Amino acid sequence: MKTIGLIGGMSWESTAVYYRRLNEQVRNLCGGLHSAEIVMRSVDFESIVAMQTSGDWDGAAGVLQKIARELEAAGADCVLICTNTMHKLADTVQAAVRIPLLNIIDICAHELKAAGARRPLLLATRYTMEHDFYRERMSGRHGLDTIVPEADDRAAVHDIIFSELCCGIIRESSRQRYMEVIRRGRSAGADSVILGCTEIGLLIRPENLDLPAFDSTLLHADAAVDFALGDGPLGRADAA
């Protein structure tokens, strides 16, 4: 079994989901008391949020590069950035290490295409929805036409993530707000939904939606298990 390296803590609420999913999947596949080989570094999220808010992406890149190198030195065979937003820096982080970075965008795109989806609605932080890194990679590398909610809905989705989900707060009113956003996305032509923030799965479940939905957290963790058990580096940041 290969060792999985996690850059976590962004937020720790979703990193806990990663840890559980990785170990559950290894146990399911290997049986007995098997669990995943994991090396994890969990950051102080407040410091990362400050960099995001101020637009200091170079500073954030330096932090993640350093952690990735530390994980590699600690014996990790791959690295996962346990957040969609910070995949804005995925190629930069990949360049800092020799081990593969499993890119959450590529992994989600692979599953979308396998399911026949072509025009997903992206629910995520405003950085992921409004910056070009996510949609351009989906389009340029995978031929997917990713759409995002209108401005008011983007603001609501973002605010619920940071003020509630990252703090472990789950509200039915927020679940219904997300459902309204999804209904509008479907009316705009979406054929599927990407839960493109690693906390959104805490609020809504794919099986409860009218559209096919793809939980980026679970897909990312499952791809890491596939890698660890020998199926290859799906989603490497510098892959063609």
pTM exceeds 0.85 for this model: yes
Are the C-beta atoms of residues 145 and 121 closer than 8 Å to each other? no
Tokens of 146: 């990713």
Question: What does each C-alpha distance from 193 to 25, 103, 146 come to in angstroms?
Answer: 23, 18, 9
Catalytic residue among 15, 78, 82, 83: 83
166 is catalytic: no
pLDDT along the chain (240 residues), means of 10: 97 97 95 96 97 97 98 98 97 98 97 97 97 96 97 98 97 97 97 97 90 96 95 46
pLDDT at residue 113 in the model? 97
pLDDT at residue 206 in the model? 84
Catalytic residue among 78, 108, 166, 197: 197
pLDDT at residue 230 in the model? 86
Rounded Cα–Cα distance for residues 87 and 103 (Å): 7
83 is catalytic: yes
pLDDT at residue 231 in the model? 55
